[in-house]
A and B are shown apart, each in its own frame.
Chain A
């Protein structure tokens, strides 16, 4: 019975990891751009939601607004700064985005202080579901359902709409898209904003579970990279599968071998690199 609950808990964790990683995966897959500021966008999303709720806004309003604000800010950053370095070697991408992440982190410390804060779950979801001897927070159940619905919507957007087709074609052959009259610069900006906005959404969603603190972005970034590497860089389905695998493995290990619960994430990544060098769903 304990294992069953660890799996349920792992699904909840995994959906959160998916949401964290999917934005990174989209940006990498479509722009071939390694974004180390992804954790910083997660951090900003969490703090913006926290600030809005502290100022009296409803969590339900703060959630989309935080994601939207982060997306807009990321779009602006892409248009002003990041698009200038796309053609540079990847070390430039890392240098600039790590720098950006540090700037955001210090900004958060200056504005909100080095001590974190607590963002309570919305009143309607502050209880627990009791199943026999076990309990599970209602808010975590909501995160599972919400993220699953979001995953389906994203899938539909990227795979079944004209917009999705343009975006995918833009990643395969930007020159041809430009020749066809599409503004690839705008597509890039939109994709970057979408990916970062999803990180912001993940931050706002995670805040009632994890609280907010200025260094939360670093941890989020490391998990996001593990999920992207296991799932396959740029793969949407890979991010979902890997998020769930990592979440369930981590949760099950808490019962089987608690000391290794965190280690197993990185061992799993190493194992996947050896056995399946392109990840679970990576493209050739």
Chain B
């Protein structure tokens, strides 16, 4: 007979190994190659994002290798989406000589990796969203491409309030960790400024999969707008369940931080139709570098780039270009090459702000279109707005160290 204590001990051990198999894939670089470490959640709940991001980084390395005539490789590092393994594995990679890192999808893992890389004299370029990354926790070795929470709210909530002056009651659903708090704080500030009644908020944990309870709360508050502030599969689950509760017919649904194409593919056009999405990137953006990437990917891989792929591609490309310009991968020279750089990016002209290492780029407001209106299988949304909204480095609280 299996005893309860033995059952619990062994099952918890096994559960841990199931949830985090720690798959480590990717190239082990030769000594002479230019190596870009790509620390991403390749296993766990955010693995889908990690796998596309790894592909994007690999493409950038492949292109650079061909252009430069030298070996350029990426080294995939599975962060498991958790700060502790992320920090440990990045330390290991630095111990083996890697100085350049492009990755970090979750804010919690990105914050610790940025610190580790900066401490070790390297450069870390990330897409994670928490304000602190280029705010209070900024450091000389960390750069961030994606628009932080302030800009995401400014480019989604603000224009929608102007478009829908009659929608005065907003309800929010928020994951309780740094990223969610950042979005919620920014949203509350806009609500207050615009005279919007914030009729309620439901916090939930980062592991939550079931949102019906929170949606019941939202229904009870009778909002005009449901603002979903979580990310990845959680935001897909929230939206799917909100639609099943008939909320699309009762209120406007806004998902402030969508992952773009990969998320729309998982949801399908019926769920996306009429829903507003905030996004860092969309393959339909009219920018030369983006058009070239889209054309190449459609020709070679029969796919359109999604956010994870495109962002990782760009980060890796920026690091390789800077290393080539600097003639080294060591931190000080790399930082000098990147600070203040203006370049033709995936969202048009982009600039790496020297004071806080935040890339100044567009954020997009998208609206899901009907299946019948889609021009091709990836044409899920229309771009209904875009713009650049950023706190000043001082207001963001960045004191560069």
Interface, chain A (partner B; CB < 8 A): 1-2, 5-6, 9-10, 12-13, 32, 34, 36, 39, 90-91, 94-95, 97-98, 101-102, 114-118, 120-121, 127-128, 133-137, 139-140, 208-211, 213-215, 218-219, 221-222, 225, 229, 233, 250-255, 258-259, 261-263, 273, 277-278
CB contacts (< 8 Å) of A261 on chain B: these are: 204-205, 208, 213-214
A255 in contact with B216 (CB, 8 Å): yes
Per-position binary interface string of chain B over residues 1-29, scored 1 when its CB falls under 8 Å from any chain A CB and 0 otherwise: 11010111011011101110100000000
CB contacts (< 8 Å) of B213 on chain A: these are: 6, 9-10, 250-255, 258, 261
With an 8 A cutoff between CB atoms, is B389 at the interface?
no
Q: What is the bound-complex CA distance between A137 and B217, given in angstroms? A: 15
Q: What is the bound-complex CA distance between A278 and B1, given in angstroms? A: 13
B4 in contact with A278 (CB, 8 Å): yes
CB distance from B262 to the nearest CB of A (A): 5
Question: How many pairs, one residue from A and one from B, have CB atoms within 8 Å of each other in the complex?
Answer: 166
17 contacts between A and B (CB under 8 A): A6-B216, A34-B11, A90-B7, A91-B10, A98-B18, A101-B18, A133-B219, A139-B244, A211-B237, A218-B19, A225-B15, A258-B203, A259-B176, A262-B205, A262-B208, A263-B205, A273-B4
B2 in contact with A262 (CB, 8 Å): no
CB contacts (< 8 Å) of B202 on chain A: these are: 254, 258
Best-buried of A101, A116, A137, A262 by chain B (most CB within 10 Å): A116
With an 8 A cutoff between CB atoms, is B291 at the interface?
no
With an 8 A cutoff between CB atoms, is B271 at the interface?
yes
Among the stretches B40-48, B121-129, B139-147, B335-343, the one at the interface with A is: B40-48
Nearest opposing residue in chain A for B250, CB measure: A135
A34 in contact with B205 (CB, 8 Å): no
Per-position binary interface string of chain B over residues 230-267, scored 1 when its CB falls under 8 Å from any chain A CB and 0 otherwise: 00010011001100111100100000000000100111
Q: Given A94-B10, A133-B222, A233-B7, are A121 and B209 neighbors across the interface (CB < 8 Å)? A: no
B245 in contact with A34 (CB, 8 Å): no
CB contacts (< 8 Å) of B399 on chain A: these are: none
CB contacts (< 8 Å) of B246 on chain A: these are: 127-128, 135, 137
Nearest opposing residue in chain B for A4, CB measure: B216
Q: What is the bound-complex CA distance between A263 and B19, given in angstroms? A: 18
Contact partner of A211 (CB less than 8 A), chosen from B4, B44, B266, is B266
Q: Given A34-B7, A114-B48, A118-B268, are A102 and B18 neighbors across the interface (CB < 8 Å)? A: yes
Q: Which of B196-218 contact A (CB under 8 A)?
A: 202-205, 207-210, 212-214, 216-217
CB distance from B238 to the nearest CB of A (A): 11
A135 in contact with B208 (CB, 8 Å): no
Contact partner of A118 (CB less than 8 A), chosen from B214, B220, B222, B271, is B271
A211 in contact with B240 (CB, 8 Å): yes
CB contacts (< 8 Å) of B208 on chain A: these are: 261-262
A117 in contact with B268 (CB, 8 Å): yes
Q: What is the bound-complex CA distance between A135 and B17, given in angstroms? A: 40
CB distance from B253 to the nearest CB of A (A): 14
Q: What is the bound-complex CA distance between A233 and B4, given in angstroms? A: 9
Q: What is the bound-complex CA distance between A128 and B214, given in angstroms? A: 17
CB contacts (< 8 Å) of B212 on chain A: these are: 9, 12-13, 140, 251, 254
Q: Which of B35-83 contact A (CB under 8 A)?
A: 44-45, 47-48, 51-52
B268 in contact with A262 (CB, 8 Å): no
Q: Given A136-B245, A211-B240, are A219 and B233 neighbors across the interface (CB < 8 Å)? A: no
B220 in contact with A133 (CB, 8 Å): yes
With an 8 A cutoff between CB atoms, is B349 at the interface?
no
Q: What is the bound-complex CA distance between A41 and B332, given in angstroms? A: 52
Q: Given A116-B266, A118-B271, A255-B217, are A210 and B204 neighbors across the interface (CB < 8 Å)? A: no
CB distance from B213 to the nearest CB of A (A): 3
Nearest opposing residue in chain A for B306, CB measure: A115
Q: Given A94-B10, A121-B244, are A259 and B47 neighbors across the interface (CB < 8 Å)? A: no
CB contacts (< 8 Å) of A136 on chain B: these are: 245
CB distance from A97 to the nearest CB of B (A): 8
Q: What is the bound-complex CA distance between A215 and B241, given in angstroms? A: 18
CB distance from A95 to the nearest CB of B (A): 8
A222 in contact with B15 (CB, 8 Å): yes
CB distance from A144 to the nearest CB of B (A): 12
CB contacts (< 8 Å) of A211 on chain B: these are: 236-237, 240, 266-267
Q: What is the bound-complex CA distance between A213 and B236, given in angstroms? A: 11
CB contacts (< 8 Å) of B240 on chain A: these are: 118, 209-211
With an 8 A cutoff between CB atoms, is B270 at the interface?
yes
A213 in contact with B266 (CB, 8 Å): yes
Q: Beyond A34-B10, A134-B216: 9 further Cβ-contacts under 8 Å?
A: A94-B10, A128-B246, A135-B250, A140-B212, A211-B237, A214-B47, A258-B202, A261-B214, A262-B204
CB contacts (< 8 Å) of A137 on chain B: these are: 244-246
Q: Given A116-B48, A118-B266, A118-B267, are A13 and B222 neighbors across the interface (CB < 8 Å)? A: no
Q: What is the bound-complex CA distance between A172 and B87, given in angstroms? A: 50
CB contacts (< 8 Å) of B13 on chain A: these are: 94
CB distance from B249 to the nearest CB of A (A): 9
CB distance from A247 to the nearest CB of B (A): 9
Nearest opposing residue in chain B for A9, CB measure: B212
CB contacts (< 8 Å) of B17 on chain A: these are: 98
Q: Which of B112-169 contact A (CB under 8 A)?
A: none
Nearest opposing residue in chain A for B46, CB measure: A215
A219 in contact with B209 (CB, 8 Å): yes
CB contacts (< 8 Å) of A277 on chain B: these are: 4
B8 in contact with A32 (CB, 8 Å): no
Q: Given A133-B222, A135-B246, A254-B202, are A210 and B7 neighbors across the interface (CB < 8 Å)? A: no
Nearest opposing residue in chain B for A259, CB measure: B203
CB contacts (< 8 Å) of B233 on chain A: these are: 116, 213, 215
B216 in contact with A5 (CB, 8 Å): yes
B220 in contact with A2 (CB, 8 Å): yes
B219 in contact with A209 (CB, 8 Å): no
Q: What is the bound-complex CA distance between A255 and B217, given in angstroms? A: 6
Q: Given A32-B2, A140-B244, A209-B244, are A120 and B216 neighbors across the interface (CB < 8 Å)? A: no
